[in-house]
Amino acid sequence: VSNREMFRPVYHFTPAYGWMNDPNGMVYKDGIYHLFYQYNPYGSMWGNMHWGHATSRDLVSWEHQPVAIAPDALGTIFSGSCVVDKDNTAGFGAGAIVAFYTSASDRQVQSMAYSLDNGKTFRKYARNPILTSTQRDFRDPKVLWHEASGRWIMILAVGQEMQIYSSPNLKDWTMESKFGEGQGAHGGVWECPDLIELPIEGTELKKWVLICNLNPGGPFGGSATQYFVGTFDGKKFVNESPALTKWMDWGKDHYATVTWSNAPEGRHIALAWMSNWQYANNVPTQQYRSGNSVPRDLSLYTSKGETYVKCTPSRELLKLRDKGTKKRSFKVDRSYNLDRLLSDNTGTYEIEMTFKNKNAEIIGFQLFNSKGEEVEIYYNLVDKQFAMDRTKSGDVSFSKDFPAVTLAPIEGKDEMKLRLLIDKSSIEAFGDDGRFSMTNLVFPSEPYNRISFYAKGGSYNITSFTVYNLKTN
């Protein structure tokens, strides 16, 4: 592995060469997960947007495919979505994969293309564009089938609001409503919407979730994913808690999150672009830029009367684990060091642990390497926050916005579970089975292979601790 490849993740998707941003048009059909993505085939910075394409049977090992949709006279190809038109409502053919994207030039309009060979090749619809507007920021169509009203729905990001359209045939669209004023965070432009109905765990109930990516205006600067929980009747989305802003992930590198269309078993599998517009063009990787997050199954949980999204790493990730190295339960009253996490640490591993607090105010640890580079992770049980500090994580020099401490609110129970998925240049933390997640990039000059636990204000036990090497076939 040459030095320039040292940060390339193993179980996260990256383009072989060139620039990637948003995941686009994710759709499942006949055993294959399709991933399209914002792609510059000519260089590793943003520009010349195409839809790149990759396929997978298991969401963790990906095969590169030829570019799916390339620029034309209407413009470059911005973000969007795909559906499987099972009943041939559009007349392209039963089972056609129909793609919706924004054609971007000095204006933004919505276009359509379809595939009659299971996503291998796309033909553009002859009467594009299918939707135009006088608004400048008018993009990222997400199309879904709304069972109750028997119609297709398109949700579009327009400036700082979402517009909802309906259609019987995927070609003719009627505006139904707008959503956004007075709702959630408005520190930047709203982008890449999604609208899904999710089950509330432990109940028979479901609620609708509107995913709304925004840039800038994220909780730690730059781009981030917010969402709203409420009802949707086929025309109008109503947010049940307008006064609250809800973030899907509490790190700096989780953006443009959308879900797979037509996923099996009623699953709602989300994928995010694992970077931030503040520095995505400057991260120290060559000759590609950006990977995606791990796939996450979304569901809902309720805490103190409020409903939130839970992000569980998709179960397919479990099969990457080797047999694992376990430690017996141990107590931390001042500090406790583990000098070697793995004998063959290649920077692609997972740590799963359970903390049982006695009376500590801070439960924390540093993950570090022999170069003095470290990531500090801690629970502050007084402020009820979980934190990840990457200010000394390795190369942080390429952007003033990169060094950061990110924080997530926690309930602060006596027993807390934490799962860390590490893949060369990223750390994804999942707390309490995904009740919170935090995704951050890091660029260490060698893998972190040591851990040093500490306690402040009291002590705690680590009742389970397992490290797994993660390997794809």
Residues assigned a catalytic role: 22
Spatial contact of 390 and 384, defined as CB atoms under 8 Å apart: no
Is the CB of 70 or the CB of 116 nearer to ligand FRU?
70
Minimal CA–CA distance to 331: which of 473, 423, 207, 465? 465
Which C-beta is closer to ligand FRU: that of 222 or that of 447? Answer: 222
Q: Pick between residue 270 and residue 387 the one whose CB is nearest to ligand FRU.
A: 270
Can you tell me whether residue 282 is helix, strand or coil?
Answer: helix
What is the smallest separation between the CB atom of 191 and ligand FRU, expressed in angstroms? 4
- Looking at the Cβ atoms of 239 and 257, the one nearer to ligand FRU is 257
Closest distance between ligand FRU and the C-beta of residue 21, in Å?
Answer: 5
* Minimum gap (Å) between residue 189 Cβ and ligand FRU: 7
Residues 221-240 that bind ligand FRU (CB under 6 A): none
* 335-to-102, 412, 449, 455, 460 alpha-carbon distances in Å: 54, 21, 17, 6, 11
**Binding-site string for ligand FRU from residue 361 to residue 380, where x marks contact by CB under 6 A and - marks none:** --------------------
Cα–Cα distance for residue pair 227/358, rounded to 1 Å: 35
Q: Which residues 60-79 are close enough to bind ligand FRU by CB under 6 A? A: 78-79
Euclidean distance between CA atoms 246 and 239, whole angstroms: 11
CA dist., res. 321 & res. 145, Å (int) = 36
Among 6, 49, 224, 309, binds ligand FRU (CB under 6 A): 49
The reply on whether position 38 binds ligand FRU by CB under 6 A is yes
Residue 121: name the closest of 157, 48, 45, 70 by CA: 70
Closest separation between CB of residue 141 and ligand FRU, Å?
A: 10
CA distances from residue 408 to 32, 246, 303 in whole angstroms, order as listed: 35, 11, 15
Which residue type occupies 239? N
- Tell me if 110 contacts ligand FRU by CB under 6 A: no
Closer to ligand FRU by Cβ: residue 46 or 336? 46
Q: Is the peptide bond before 199 cis (omega within 30 degrees of 0)?
A: no
Q: Which two tokens stand for residue 170?
A: 């995927």
Nearest distance from C-beta of residue 223 to ligand FRU, angstroms: 7
Q: Please state the closest distance from residue 248 (CB atom) to ligand FRU, in A.
A: 15
Binding-site size for ligand FRU (CB under 6 A) equals 12
Min. distance of Cβ 92 from ligand FRU in angstroms? 24
Q: Should residue 22 be labelled a site residue for ligand FRU when binding is judged by CB under 6 A?
A: yes
Neighbours of 46 (CB within 10 A): 16
Those residues with Cβ within 8 angstroms of residue 8's Cβ, 6 or more apart along the chain or in another chain: 14, 285, 288, 291, 424, 425
Q: What angle do CA 364, 347, 422 make, to 5 degrees?
A: 55
Among 97, 198, 256, 309, binds ligand FRU (CB under 6 A): 256
User: Rounded to a whole number, what is the largest CA-CA distance in the chain?
Assistant: 69
User: Is 441 among the residues that bind ligand FRU (CB under 6 A)?
Assistant: no
Closest to ligand FRU by CB, 192 or 420: 192
Phi-psi label, residue 347: left if phi above 0, alpha if psi -120 to 50, beta otherwise: left
Answer for which of 11, 20, 21, 119 binds ligand FRU (CB under 6 A) is 21
- 350 contributes a contact to ligand FRU by CB under 6 A: no
DSSP one-letter code for 294: P
> Which alpha helices (DSSP H) does 351-450 contain, by range?
none
Pick 50 or 151: Cβ nearer ligand FRU? 50
| Sign (positive or negative) of CA dihedral 232, 267, 23, 243 | positive
We find the least distance from the C-beta atom of residue 76 to ligand FRU, in angstroms, to be 8
Cα–Cα dist 388/13, whole Å:
23
- Contact mark string toward ligand FRU, 76..105, x via CB under 6 A: --xx----------------------x---
Per-residue binding letters, 123-142, with ligand FRU (x by CB under 6 A): ----------------xx--
Write the Ramachandran bin of 88: left for phi over 0, alpha for psi from -120 to 50, otherwise beta. left
Question: Rounded to a whole number, what is the distance in angstroms from the first to the last CA of the chain?
Answer: 17
Cβ nearer to ligand FRU, comparing 58 with 137: 137
Per-residue binding letters, 167-196, with ligand FRU (x by CB under 6 A): ------------------------xx----
Give 216 or 324: the residue with its C-beta nearer to ligand FRU: 216
How far is residue 101's CA from residue 115's CA, in Å, rounded to a whole number? 14
In angstroms, rounded to a whole number, what is the distance separating the alpha carbons of residues 164 and 186?
19
- Write down the least CB distance from residue 159 to ligand FRU, Å: 12
| Chain positions contacting ligand FRU, by CB under 6 A | 21-22, 38, 49, 78-79, 102, 139-140, 191-192, 256
